[in-house]
């Protein structure tokens, strides 16, 4: 009809495509923590709930993407998309690094038709993600040795760094091409891109263990990098006290939920509290934090403290005064002032005593006679 009468009946802005959303899920796979939580929430049930949450995120738009990371006790690995195996990437190569196409070794794909599931009621993309994540977790658990179970903490800082690097790489692919060489036009395009981003990114950390004080510095570096890039970090705590992740949710504008009292309601909290993206949350009432634990880890003993000494040059935090009052990071001489001196005792002022006159108390006025009483 528009081509016949040469008129526009519809607003083109209403048919613009939805801005794609990237969700990076970081799952805490600490074996000891999950063993303690097994009676209330087995890891298989928790993984099934997380897969439902991921499928719901992908169902919001065809261009939505997802990535899943596992934070183990001593390393962080990708669960989806799974990196190519060493056998497939290091097949027979010549000196120039090219793959020998005449090799008789068959090419191994990361997923095959059998991994995608045989049910006709399962969406192929959902089945592919499920099979890849399950296979990656099985390989991780099979490679876990008794020495890997000794640490009681999780390498969450490494997982956050890997997630931020993946988000940055994906965001670069969505940036428009710079066709003009004029710096003024490029600056205008950069301002327009900041107002209307081409990709909405966010992270979700499912934690089951306490925050490691030894990872305070790298964790805060990742948190401030996410805040500078406007990437919210949501945290769902099933057990333990993730102090640093609680601060991360507050600093980056994310949501922090602690369900340690009822971890069986994992799917409910995921779907109703953490499914909406940053744009949708502006029109919704998102869960808020009543109190935030702002304690930090000292740089000397890696203890979580609420009161300490801060260097004025490098902002290093110490739980006690270092030797010779010198900063252990930059060597600056700490000025302690009158710290450690005994407080001065201020004597109390004596109050004036009251005289009793005719059985009633009155303040002393210095008069020889009392106040006359009218006759009745």
Give the pLDDT confidence of 185-203 residue by residue, as tens digits: 656 655 555 555 688 899 9
Asked whether 258 and 237 are in contact (CB, 8 A), the reply is yes
Give the closest residue to 23 by CA, choosing from 219, 288, 276, 237. 276
Superfamily holding 19-84+123-175+197-293: von Willebrand factor, type A domain (3.40.50.410)
* Alpha-helical segments (H) within the chain: 2-5, 31-36, 43-59, 86-89, 124-143, 146-149, 156-174, 183-195, 216-228, 243-252, 266-273, 278-281
Q: Give the model confidence (pLDDT) of 153-165 as tens digits.
A: 889 999 999 999 9
CB 175 within 8 A of CB 198: yes
Pairwise pLDDT comparison (80 vs 90), residue with the higher score: 80
pLDDT (tens digit, 9 = 90+) per residue, 2-41? 455 555 555 555 445 678 899 999 999 999 999 999 999 9
**Which burial class, exposed, middle or buried, applies to 228 when counting CB atoms under 10 A from its CB (0-12, 13-18, 19+)?**
exposed
3-state SS assignment for residue 304:
strand
> Residue 92 — pLDDT band, cuts 50, 70, 90?
very low
Which tens digits make up the pLDDT trace of 206-236?
Answer: 999 988 888 888 999 999 999 999 999 999 9
235 with 205: CB under 8 angstroms?
Answer: yes
Judge contact between 285 and 272, C-beta under 8 A. Answer: no
Concatenated DSSP letters of 192-240: HHHHS-S-EEEEEEEE-SPPPGGGHHHHHHHHHHHHHTT--EEEEESSS
CATH 3.40.50.410 domain span(s) along the chain: 19-84+123-175+197-293
- Residues 145-168 as b or e (16 or more Cβ within 10 Å = b): eeeeeeeebbbbbbbbbbbbebbe
Whether residue 77 is preceded by a cis peptide bond, meaning omega within 30 degrees of 0, is: no
Tokens matching residue 83: 């990196």
Measured CA to CA, the distance from residue 164 to residue 175 in angstroms comes to: 17
- What does the pLDDT average to over 104-132? 63
* CB-CB neighbours of 184 under 10 Å: 8
Q: What are phi and psi of 217, to 5 degrees?
A: -65, -55
């Amino acid at each position: 009809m528009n081509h016949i009468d040469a008129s526009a009946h519809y607003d083109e802005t209403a048919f613009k495509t939805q801005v794609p959303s990237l969700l990076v899920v970081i799952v805490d796979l600490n074996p000891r923590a999950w063993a303690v939580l097994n009676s209330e929430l087995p890891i298989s049930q928790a993984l099934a709930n997380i897969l439902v949450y991921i499928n719901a995120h992908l169902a919001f738009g065809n261009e939505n993407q997802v990535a899943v990371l596992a934070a183990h006790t001593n390393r962080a690995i990708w669960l989806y998309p799974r990196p190519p195996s060493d056998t497939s990437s290091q097949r027979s190569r010549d000196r120039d690094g090219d793959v020998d196409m005449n090799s008789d070794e068959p090419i191994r794909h990361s997923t095959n038709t059998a991994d995608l599931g045989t049910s006709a009621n399962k969406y192929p993309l959902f089945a592919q993600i499920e099979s890849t994540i399950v296979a990656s977790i099985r390989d991780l658990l099979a490679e876990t040795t008794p020495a890997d179970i000794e640490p009681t903490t999780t390498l969450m800082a490494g997982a956050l760094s890997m997630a931020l690097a993946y988000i940055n790489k994906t965001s670069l692919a969505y940036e428009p091409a710079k066709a003009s060489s004029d710096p003024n036009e490029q600056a205008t395009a950069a301002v327009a891109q900041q107002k209307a981003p081409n990709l909405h990114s966010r992270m979700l950390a499912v934690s089951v263990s306490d925050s490691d004080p030894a990872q305070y510095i790298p964790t805060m570096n990742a948190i401030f990098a996410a805040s500078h890039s406007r990437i919210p970090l949501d945290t769902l705590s099933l057990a333990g006290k993730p102090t640093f992740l609680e601060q991360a949710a507050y600093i980056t504008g994310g949501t922090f939920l602690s369900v340690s009292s009822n971890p069986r309601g994992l799917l409910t909290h995921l779907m109703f509290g953490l499914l909406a993206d940053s744009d949708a949350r502006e029109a919704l009432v998102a869960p808020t934090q009543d109190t935030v634990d702002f304690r930090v880890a000292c740089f000397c003993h890696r203890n979580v403290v609420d009161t300490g000494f801060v260097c004025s040059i490098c902002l290093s935090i110490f739980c006690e005064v270092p030797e010779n009052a010198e900063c252990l990071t930059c060597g600056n001489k700490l000025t302690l002032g009158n710290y450690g001196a005994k407080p001065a005792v201020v004597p109390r002022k004596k109050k004036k005593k009251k005289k009793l006159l005719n059985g009633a108390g009155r303040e002393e006025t210095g008069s020889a006679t009392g106040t006359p009483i009218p006759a009745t």
